[in-house]
Amino acid sequence: MRVFISLVLTLSLVACGPVTEIDPTADWDAERFYNEARAELASENYLTAIEYYETLESRFPFGKYATQAQIDVAFAYFKFSEPDSAITALDRFIKLHPRHESVDYAYYLKGLVNFERGGTILDVLVERDLSAFDRNLLLNAYNDFKILLQRFPSSKYALDAKKRMIYLRNELARSDYQIASYYATRDAWVAVANRTKFILQNYQGSSVIRPTLTLQLQAYQNLGMEDMARDTQRIIDLNYKQGS
């Protein structure tokens, strides 16, 4: 009887003891990890994809799958709305593999990440006014695309990067114009003159050139800079009034 009771108690203790979790990926090789991560990424299971990519690199740090995982995980972070992690992963990839065939894509993806920073669900409902965002984010995206075009002019991402740079240039110009307009409301005409001069020197062809000239004219007039005001008026007359 005692033997039976002891046996029952032993079995009960075993049943109530800690359960060791079985790792379903324990016997996966690098290729299996990579394929499973890509499948999760395609299914928009971004967190799982990130876990697989990072585990792949941890267990198999060398080879083509680990290298590709370093850049693919950046895209997964991007889609998972973790821009800082995406940028960190891309910077690491560029530093470790400056001659890799996908390094142009790394710069392009960096530009996309910075281009999309600050977005929320409201962006789906209303048009984003990027000029009201932190201009440093706009500059970062612009510079990422610029590096891509300078280093890899024949890249398949170059055309889209160029289009985005044109758009970003217009947004940067609008941002500076908003700043100049604010200075005008404060009668800070020296600041207005300096800011409008910067816009005209750096953003020729943007959509705010005409209102910028008008604002510059007001600044010079308020500062008593008659010669500069006449020059600005002449530019307005030559470029706009004849066609109006």
Give the residue ranges of DSSP H helices in the chain.
Answer: 2-16, 30-42, 46-59, 64-79, 83-96, 103-116, 122-125, 135-151, 158-185, 189-202, 209-222, 226-239
Distance of CA 221 to the CA centre of its chain: 41
Domain 31-100 is found in CATH 1.25.40.10: yes
pLDDT category, 23, cuts 50, 70, 90?
confident
DSSP 45: -
Buried residues in 103-120 as b, exposed as e (16+ CB within 10 A): bbbbbbbbbbbbbbbeee
Which phi and psi angles does 25 have, rounded to 5°? -100, 10
Q: How far is CA 88 from CA 28, 61, 141, 159, in A?
A: 27, 18, 15, 25
d(CA 137, CA 45): 27
pLDDT in tens, 120-166: 433 433 455 555 556 788 889 999 999 999 999 999 999 999 999 99
pLDDT at 2 over 50: no
| Of the candidates 213, 221, 208, 215, the residue with the CA atom closest to the CA atom of residue 183 | 215
pLDDT tens-place string over residues 47-60:
999 999 999 999 99
> Could you tell me the residue ranges of all domains in the chain?
31-100
Q: Is the pLDDT of residue 97 over 70?
A: yes
* Mean pLDDT estimate for the chain: 86
pLDDT in tens, 228-239: 999 999 999 998
Distance from C-alpha of 46 to C-alpha of 82, rounded to nearest angstrom: 11
pLDDT at residue number 171:
87
Which pLDDT band holds residue 92 (cuts at 50, 70, 90)? very high
Mean local confidence (pLDDT), 184-200? 96
Model pTM? Answer: 0.74
Phi-psi region of 187 (alpha: psi -120 to 50; beta: other; left: phi over 0): left
